Structures are given as C-alpha cells and as structure tokens.
Amino acid sequence: MELLIDGDVVAYKIAAVCEEPIHWGNDFWTLHADAYEGKAQVDIWIKDVMDTLGADKARVFLTGRENFRAEFFEDYKANRKDTRKPMILSSLKDHMKDEWAAELVEPLEADDLIGIAATDPEVGYDRVIVSVDKDFKSIPCRMYNPDKPEEGVVHTSELAANKFHIFQTLVGDSTDNYKGCPSYGPVKAEKLMDGEDDISNLWTKVLTAFDKAGLSTRHALTQARVARILRHGDYDFNTKKVKLWNP
C-alpha cells in the first residue's frame, strides 16, 4: 500500500503544537519553538500512520507559493494573507523535502498533486489518501482521516465525488474564501441534489440557482473551477498547463 500524505496539514499542525509561550516576568512574554523537536515529530507521525495502515510506501505532498486558481479568481485564499503562520512551518516543510522527498509543483496545491496521483489509472498500486481535509470527498479515492481513526479507510465512488464537487460549488468554502451560491447552505444544497445522479442535470440545476441569485453562468463556472481538485489528466507536467473543469 502507498500513502498519499497531505504534508501541508501535518507540517502546520506540528509546527503550531511546538510553539510555546514563555513568561519572563513583568508582563514580558516571548514565543519559542524547537525545530529539532518538530522535525522528529514529523518523522514519528509519518512512520506511525504507515504502521497503522500497513503501508510500505509514503509520498508526501506540499503546496508552493503560486496558485493557478488565483489567476482567474483573485480572492482565492486572500483571507489568509495576514494570518501569522507557525514559526517553524518552513523548517518542517524543508525537512519533509529532505527526508521524505516531499513533492511540490508550482502552481498546484498539495491537494491537486494528491488528486492527480490518486486517480492515475495506470498505477497498479493500492493508494490511500491521508488527510483531514473534507475537500478530498470530491476525489474518487480511498481515504484515511487521522483525526477519525475509528472510521478506517473510507472509499468514495466517482459518482459521490462528482456530486460532492457540485455540493461545494453551491455552498462555497469560507476557509478558501469562495462563497458559492448566495443563500445555499448544506441543507438547501442537499435538497437541490436529492435523488439526482446525472451530473449534467445537476449542473443545470446549479445554473438555475445562480441565475435566481442574479449571478451569471460564468460566475457559477468560476466557483466550480475553484472548488475542483485536479484529477489525472487535468494537468500537463510537460507544458505546465492546467485543464480547467468544464461541465
């Protein structure tokens, strides 16, 4: 079994946990973090999840500085620009590159690289995505959420993945700073999608919903493209071109 590990989440969580506030007296505080300890924790975490799942191989993926989504939707993740990142985050990512051959390809996110690898039909290898990110429900895959070990490895079919992508297009994602369709929360989106398994018909319903909200087909398509995690065939590693989603 080969694990496809979301290195962004692992590095961030460990880097945050390693930060320690110290009070020196007289209301003077400093924040410290031990990068050596953080690197050791990264190694332990990866080895532990490999042992838990009985994997003999692990690939780690990271996100770079560029992002193709921002090229057509400038507000993508703009809400994170002023957020302080954990002090040793870069050190832990560098460690992942050095010790675990972590893969990073501009202008893709780790999610995209994982989605592409997980859906490669030519790889005769049992692959499992390891991440806490709900967005991977939009990828036909086998996935393990380390925060919910009791669920084990969960399989998502292609139909379920395609429907979740439509669901995300409607409800948006405040974490990634795209709004979806106004007035559509999870309950209303599920109601619109209930009983419909034809993606073409679902997309027609999505366009109708955006139209009623006074928004264009172009706007709806932009939301869908932002929500879409790339799959095999959506990116040409030679030309470095992304094939944007079309209904």
**pLDDT tens, 161-202?**
999 999 999 999 988 999 999 999 999 999 999 988 999 999
Tokens of 8: 């962004």
d(CA 78, CA 133): 19
pLDDT tens by residue, 14-56: 999 999 999 999 999 999 999 999 999 999 999 999 999 999 9
- Of all residues in the chain, the percent with pLDDT exceeding 90 is 90
Same domain, yes or no: 151 and 119: yes
Same domain, yes or no: 97 and 119: yes
Same domain, yes or no: 153 and 164: no
Same domain, yes or no: 58 and 118: yes
Backbone angles phi, psi at 123, to 5 degrees: -95, 110
Same domain, yes or no: 62 and 129: yes
pLDDT tens by residue, 114-149: 999 999 988 766 899 999 999 999 999 999 999 999
* 201 found inside a domain: yes
Which residue range is the domain that position 175 belongs to? 159-227
Domain count, the chain: 2
> Domain boundary at 139, 157, 175, which?
157
Same domain, yes or no: 65 and 104: yes
Same domain, yes or no: 180 and 153: no
Q: How many Cβ atoms are within 10 Å of 213's Cβ, its own excluded? A: 14
Calculate helix-pair angle for 158-171, 217-227, nearest 10 degrees: 120
Tokens of 74: 């400038």
Per-residue pLDDT at 124: 62
* 176 found inside a domain: yes
Three-state helix/strand/coil letters over 71-130: HHCCCCCHHHCCCCCCCCHHHHHHHHHHHHCCECCCCCCHHHHHHHHHCCCCCCCCEEEE
